[in-house]
Amino acid sequence: DTGVSQDPRHKITKRGQNVTFRCDPISEHNRLYWYRQTLGQGPEFLTYFQNEAQLEKSRLLSDRFSAERPKGSFSTLEIQRTEQGDSAMYLCASSLGAGGFGDTQYFGPGTRLTVL
Amino acid sequence: KNEVEQSPQNLTAQEGEFITINCSYSVGISALHWLQQHPGGGIVSLFMLSSGKKKHGRLIATINIQEKHSSLHITASHPRDSAVYICAVGGNSGGSNYKLTFGKGTLLTVNP
């Protein structure tokens, strides 16, 4: 399978714990995106990488959230001191980064986080 | 008011019917995307368009830049088309075309 993969697929944690999610994009893709989706809503942009550089972070991302893409390949999203409001599906997507006006994003299956 | 509005929110159709889902946006965009999301979360990109019309199989997407409106049409609908269809726009603020703003989605159910 050469698509975008995410690990774990499901995570249940207790309030106050730290969690880390991993995303492996399609290998030749330069751009990597993180989104959050809550029930009944469309995804919301969290952050975006061009290779290893994190170019934008949404105001949704509090200081408890951090994302890295250390070698321009896989990325991790960490949430510290989780809160019940963090319960959501966390989606990763990647794109080639060749389009001048945007390019097709390929989504992973998501990590569903439940904070008890 | 959301920057991207979709209608209807829910749509039920009989197999074989022609389906239209609408998307209106209020910001300047570089491109508009239509995506499909099946239960369980997987999202698939259907179209990316910045003008005119695109067709893929039974799916047709159109966009009117002046009216800031796009439609997704499904011809000869089938129960396997049942999914959530999401409209998303890429901004054109300073070339930030990568950042997508999503609508809430339209839940389509096609009955046999």
Radius of gyration of chain B (CA): 14
- Look at residue A72 and tell me whether its pLDDT is greater than 80: yes
Average pLDDT, integer, range B12-31: 92
> Which one of B43, B47, B56, B89 makes the best mutation probe of the A interface by having the most chain A beta carbons within 10 Å?
B43
Confidence category of residue A104, pLDDT binned at 50, 70, 90:
confident
- Give the per-residue pLDDT at B9: 95
- Give the per-residue pLDDT at A99: 59
Encode pLDDT of B53-78 as tens digits.
Answer: 999 999 999 999 999 999 999 999 99
* Residue among B43, B90, B103 whose CB faces A102 most closely: B90
* Interface membership of A109 toward B (CB under 8 Å): yes
* Interface membership of B46 toward A (CB under 8 Å): no
Confidence category of residue A102, pLDDT binned at 50, 70, 90:
low
> Which one of A37, A89, A111, A114 makes the best mutation probe of the B interface by having the most chain B beta carbons within 10 Å?
A37
CB atoms B104 and A43 under 8 Å: no
Q: Cα separations (Å) of A104 from A16, A95, A99, B84?
A: 36, 6, 9, 18
Confidence category of residue B93, pLDDT binned at 50, 70, 90:
low
Residues 6+ apart with CB under 8 A from A53: none
Please tell me which residue of chain B has the smallest CA distance to A110.
B41
Question: A78 forms bridges with which residues in the sheet?
Answer: A20, A66
- Look at residue B25 and tell me whether its pLDDT is greater than 90: yes
- Residue A27 is classified by DSSP as T
Average pLDDT, integer, range A10-29: 96
* Interface membership of A89 toward B (CB under 8 Å): yes
Average pLDDT, integer, range A40-54: 90
Confidence category of residue A60, pLDDT binned at 50, 70, 90:
confident
